[in-house]
Amino acid sequence: MVYNVSYDLHDPGQKYKELHELIVSVSNNRWAHILDSTYIIESNKTSEEIHLALSKALDSNDNILVCEINKNYHGYLKKKYWQYIKGLF
């Protein structure tokens, strides 16, 4: 399945590196960091399982959204990201 992972990390404990490493670990090494706080990943886990895994890098005041995406998408991104996303489907 393909997921959008979006987050906001707030002070004091912004654990960007730890979160990135956790995202890579749940993504079957198929991920793209397409926007400052957004990844597109492929994973055989459910959105709940991904959220639980990533929560290790989150503080109580952080926000995260993990949602499955399908071929019905549109936007403005760098060409390399569109090629990556198309390759996931």
pLDDT for res 53: 97
Rounded distance between C-alpha atoms, residue 74 and residue 22, angstroms? 27
The two structure tokens encoding residue 49 = 């399982």
Q: Tell me what percent of the residues of the chain surpass a pLDDT of 70.
A: 100
Which residue type occupies 65? L
Per-residue pLDDT reduced to its tens digit, 21-56: 999 999 988 999 999 999 999 999 999 999 999 999
Tokens coding 88: 């996931």
Domain range 2-87, CATH class: alpha beta
| Structural tokens at position 39 | 């990844």
